[in-house]
Structure 1
Amino acid sequence: MSSPRYPAGTGSVAAIAGHPMHPMVVPLPIGALVLALAADIAYFVTENPFWAEGAKWLLLAVLVTGALAAILGIIDLVSLARARRMIIALAHGGGNAVMLAITLANYLTRPEQAAGEPMIGGFILTVLAVALSMVTGWLGGELSFRHGIGVSPGIGDGAGSEPARTPRS
């Protein structure tokens, strides 16, 4: 992989005290989605309806926190010219929109489950959403770490080479 190359970070409009909010919120839907997959697996192993109910609540958490992450990401996308010009920014956002649509379908099609009731369709949708979030997460990392999207404007050397390092105190 090549070193990051950007003249300066773009900063972020959706920020608190200079810290971009989108990357602060993104771990919430990702974590909830991975836990929903774990709950689905636990349900298959134990047939305990607790896990099916837990997976459904976790999918709701993905939808709520994913919507918040999407709003913050859209704010940055429309306000940062460099991001708007990048295909991977559109792929990142579009892929996450598809992931949220899959999760919504998954949530809405899960019945109140009795012990032993099969839910293979929901499990497959959860696996698809997790796989897609891995790809879109990688794209988001590329935007930040390789292209300086959302990175503090003072980072970078102005010449397109590797960003300047700030010494640790």
Structure 2
Amino acid sequence: MASAITKYFSQALGKQTVQEALKAGGWKIVLDGNLAETLIEHGPGGQLIGVDSNGNKYYEKKDAQVGRNRWVVYAGGQDWINQNSSTVPPEWHGWLHFISDENPANADIPKPMYALAAEAHPTMTPGRYMPKGSWENPHRRSWKKVEAWTPPPAKGTH
């Protein structure tokens, strides 16, 4: 049992030995149970289906239980803190959740004219929204009691 786990652990990270896998950042997998399950349990038998514009990799394992046979490894790979599911584009979301069986990497899926590209949500980044009065806002004391929400400027418009 232990030899199978070490074999899958090293294979999941593309290394020959467990020591090489640990040196390549594999120790971070121990801290994140979800990434560990994805790379160790699913990873070695999964077939790479495609990569999206954000660098996320999509896998499928045809002989696994239905509902647990498609998964994504987010861009950044071993960086377990910065994995962000908001970077999954709509066409890949549909494939992951069995809404569509078409492979988005090979299919020409029409996009509505109002669709925006999938981007990571700015939560916990310097570009996030900080309301007046927030501790992180440098002007936290020069504010009114109420602030009306104003939408951000639209991208790609004049």
Q: TM-score, normalised by structure 2?
A: 0.26
Q: Between Structure 1 and Structure 2, which shows a larger proportion of helix residues?
A: 1
Which entry has the higher C-alpha Rg, 1 or 2?
Answer: 2
Q: Between Structure 1 and Structure 2, which shows a larger proportion of strand residues?
A: 2
- Tell me: higher relative CO, structure 1 or 2? Use CA pairs within 8 A at least 6 residues apart: 1
